[in-house]
Every structure is written in structure tokens, then in C-alpha cells.
Amino acid sequence: MMRTEAVGSIKLMHLPFTSHVVIVGGSTVYMTHGTLGAGIVPRFIMITHAGLLRNLYARCDAAPGGADTLIFTLMLNGVATALTCTITGVAVLTSDDIVNTVAVVPGDYVCMRVVASGGAPNTTPSASCEEWSSV
């Protein structure tokens, strides 16, 4: 569920990307809230007002292990953006990108691409980011 709150003259919306579905090592999937699958369409969230997407946080329930990775990338209108983070290692379950931002306008659509390297174990990924916009 998306949550919106006003902070002064700024509006903040949380965009959750969760699937509750397992991703298999060596695969690429796209997810929004409640769905996960091999293609972007129909898995996207439609943007309703202009703003900046930022503060990407990602999590998985099983660490990739060794040099294996889970790469989370925000997709905007079907194209990869700079808002991305990578989970790598034996005991690492989370990662974030609190540096990059992505500008959006009404009618844009977004989803989260998750790429699991070949040796990564089956895991359930989730991610979220925030949209900041003027009220």
C-alpha cells in the first residue's frame, strides 16, 4: 500500500515494490506492489504528479553469498535509471541508494527490475523508494 504524507509544502509518497514471490538465481524479474514476473508490462506503477524519486532501499530474505548479487534498478518508462543498488555477500540482506534521484512527470510508469546472478539462492526480494513533490 502506498502511503502519502505532507511535510510543509512538500508531498512525500512511499512507493513499495514487493512481490511475496521467490526469484530464482540466474533470472531477471520486474516487480511492483504485489506482482513479479518476466515482463515490465503490466507490472508498473503509474505516476500521477511531477516529482523526484529517491531513497531506494532493497531487501531479500536469503543473502546472495560470496560474489553473487541481486541488483535492484528502478525502471522508468521501460528504461533503467541511475536509482539502483546491489546486494552482495554472505551475510548481507539489504542495500540502498540514497544519492541518486530520478525526475518523473504525470503519466510516467515505474517498476523495479531485479537481476539475480547465476549462483544466487532463491529469495524473496522487496524494495521501496520515495517520491518528493511540491504540493
pLDDT 10s digits, 56-104: 999 999 999 889 999 999 999 999 999 999 999 888 999 999 999 999 9
pLDDT digits (tens, 9 = 90+) for 98-124: 999 999 999 999 999 999 999 898 888
The residue among 51, 71, 57 whose CA lies nearest residue 17 is 57
- Alpha carbons 102 and 1: distance in angstroms, whole number: 21
Grid cell digits, residue 11: 508531498
pLDDT digits (tens, 9 = 90+) for 27-66: 998 888 766 665 556 578 889 889 999 999 999 999 998 8
List the CATH code of the domain at 3-130.
2.60.120.380
| pTM of structure | 0.87
The ranges assigned to domains in the chain are 3-130
CB atoms within 10 A of CB 3: 11
pLDDT at residue 1 is higher than 50: no
Q: Kind of pairing, strands 51-59 and 102-104?
A: antiparallel
